[in-house]
Structure 1
């Protein structure tokens, strides 16, 4: 078992993960805003008081805030960092008002807002394509070379040599696709399409929950069906095919995230499984201790999740803004100001509540609550 990295190393790794991803996200907003003719007044990595910064020739202040847990681009006409309109933007001279964010047609505002999450996805796809082309991508055939006795696969009648073609209608191309389909679904019955001796049949099985610890001693739970493959095979993909492979991998991760979110909302998964910045920092340090390649791959995973989370239809997030712009596009007028104000209040409370929950969980994951319990006891 590997020892967990020290606090200093973990903080450095966390900054190496979060800093570039926040920059990429906000730069997506910024560059599309510039393309749309909107002036950016502030581009900030981090929140709070500026510790470093400068103002460029376009009048944009670039700064680093003391709290490195996010960032924002504040466009002309914005009242604050979440793009609430400034009440005075309409009184600006025509030349200035035309370069404000609220003055833009709804499609431009939507494009600017969507650019942040989209850039996160593109950044992850670029990383994954690089791995596929220059490092290698998993190509192990989805064939059960071994079926574990007493496993879910054995109970369903699967045999060594069976090739898994699909799981719940989802095409399986390589063995890793099987893991992506079942790891987060212990206890959920699923239909598995297999190919045996040239013919196909469907078996029904339920992945079983396995509890174990990773190489750093962190507890993990996963669903398994009880089959093993031959030795893992990795092959470099032709450069022209690498983007398609990366897009497919990104789609798989997003689909898995959506399914896990559905489990949380449906009560099939505990909110204890939610994690936040402290857990990401801890995992960043562990990933960095395993090598640069592992850390870069982890950056891609976090980038995908950052893009996905920002598209959730919650006020204060990009998805919340897009929801209002969708209403405006359909009704040909903005949502009532009172409704927007209350929605953003709700969004603020929801996000603060979520941050409290994930922080509580994160502190538990690093043993804080157990330590307090031992002190009290």
Structure 2
């Protein structure tokens, strides 16, 4: 039986990583700010045929409503759901307030989006004795100061902390100690690995992989034969190895988001995902307060072949609707025939300009009630 020190390198064992994930963030902000919404099924989305769900409160999730679902489907699942248009100005303000709480404990903060971040608390500014106590304190401060709940995962590296934060959602906390990694990780179904969707999970099942322990039992070259370069990553993750550090204060050269579909889709069915991703990328670009002149589209076929298309503009993209429109236009430049299926789509912005170079946007995402959402 492998020992814990075989699963995690000595360097990674020295780290204390916290992954904080706000609970149903956009919907929770809406419920906090409007008492009439509390305890009710709230869907953050514009109504309309092209709209998709940004976020759903836990009351709405009981009806099967999920992020990225077409808004019209959400209406069918829960006719009494209350639809609230996204207000990213308020979400950004709440996110900044959460960030300020993080900064009381560490400067090593790597935001992933408005509602989640990695924190390296190996050494913390609050002089708390354990990472577990740091996470507990942060969650308590978020509740007491902002009236919002957050879940947290504590572990020796980012990969494990990400899994742990989802373990006791909502408003929960889970800790993976270094000596517990083997017992925790190996029995997990492979779907628990971040980035492994249903399609990849199905491909794994075809070669006899159902749990992380099944991956652990395979040689690296065998995994690479089946999954290419991702196979070597799986080999390490199955051993609890993740050397990626928490990277803070990084000027991002590109902002992107992508979706791995539960089932492979033809190109024409990717539109709703492109619009949702455009909303997510637009919100992140507004947080950085910079304009971007290049829009990128990424597609991955069911055969794991990656395709990219890019368009550079003379002035920065001015709205999320423009971003979505360009993304869809780039999608139409992909011509592999109507029978080709895709497992992933991504949207990105790059070629960012400094503040002096940015033209004033004509309108923002939250002003455009016909735009489609995150």
Per the normalisation by structure 2, the TM-score is 0.24
Give the number of the structure whose residues are more often helix, by fraction: 1
